[in-house]
Structure 1
Amino acid sequence: MNSTALKYGSIALRVVLAAVFLAAGFAKLGGVQMMVDSFAAIGIGQWFRYLTGFIEVGSAILLFAPGKQAYGAMLLVGTMIGAVLAHLFILGPSAVPAVVLGLLSAIVLFIYRGQLLLVGQSSQPLGETRA
């Protein structure tokens, strides 16, 4: 795939993900009744709805923050893993939307994987030393 297609494909994916997660996050934070009922069924408490909403909104913003796209996508992948598990074991009826959003987030994470620091890796550019 050429770099132009990758660039514009990445932008399109991030726009779609940001739109979905901003809408879902603000619905959670705004107390939309369906969200309140879903989190009541999960049984952890409404604080978890607020936390999830903040993660979704914050992650959607990170998808467009220079150098932070991988972190936003990684948070969304983790959130969607939780959503899939909640749908499969508690909420039903279908985890397909969460699976699709998780896979799209994983693609963005793969594209921007170079932004992540590995354990033991320095954030300094090679060849520079600390003063």
Structure 2
Amino acid sequence: MDVLSIIFQVILGLGFLLFGLAKFGSKKLVEEFKHYGYPSWFRVFTGLLELVSAVLVIAGIWNKTLAAWGALLIAVTMLGAIFTHVKMKEPSNKQLMPFILLVIAVVIIVNNFDFLLG
């Protein structure tokens, strides 16, 4: 399971580095957050949270405690994304990616759960 967990950590880490950075410069995301009714500061906060999560998950390749905490932050973020898409009554294909990322984060959490508790 360790190899699978590392693969998932790399996927999530790189993905969330890109997702987090996009929150700062993407006009599309600025418009999406407005459409969802969220203030601009929340987009920036979400971007920062995604960047921190990405760094933790990648550093977690060498430190399982960091992997667990990073994945937990990603899971919470993805629950928020899913909630937003459901609240906005968006089609299920818009909810699919956050759900897949949530499942991957949960796999990492389960694989590193002992380290989450310290």
With structure 1 as the length reference, what TM-score do the two structures score?
A: 0.80
Map Cα deviations across residues 35-69 of structure 1 (whole Å, 9 max, x no partner): 10111012120101011111111101001332311
Structure 1 residue matching 2:38: 3-state secondary structure:
coil
What 5-or-longer segments of structure 1 have no aligned partner? Answer: 1-5, 118-122, 124-131
Q: Equivalents in 1 of 2:70, 2:24: separation in Å? A: 18
Structure 1 distance, partners of 2:30, 2:66, is 30
Q: Of the two structures, which has the highest relative contact order with CA contacts closer than 8 Å and spacing of 6 or more?
A: 2
Aligned residues: 112
Superposed CA RMSD: 1.3
1:116 aligns with: 116
Query: How many angstroms apart in 2 are the aligned matches of 1:64 and 1:111?
Result: 15
The answer for the alignment partner of 2:90 in structure 1 is 92
**1:107 corresponding residue in structure 2:** 107
Q: Which amino acid aligns with 1:89?
A: K
Give the aligned residue type for 1:102: L
What does residue 42 of structure 2 align with? 48
Deviations 1:66-90 (A, max 9, x none): 2311110000000000000111112
Which of 48-57 and 84-93 deviates more? 84-93
Runs of at least 4 residues off by over 4 Å: none
Distance in 1 (CA, whole Å) between partners of 2:67 and 2:105 is 10
Distance change in 2, residues 1:91/1:53 (3 Å): farther
Distance 1:115 1:99 in 2: 24
Which letter maps to 1:103?
V
**1:91 Cα deviation from its structure 2 partner:** 6.6
Query: Which of the two has greater helix per residue?
Result: 2
Q: 1:36·1:46 contact (CA, 8 Å) conserved in 2?
A: yes
Percent sequence identity is 32
SS of match in other structure, 1:63: helix
Q: Secondary structure at the match of 1:64?
A: helix
Q: Who is 1:73 aligned against? A: 71
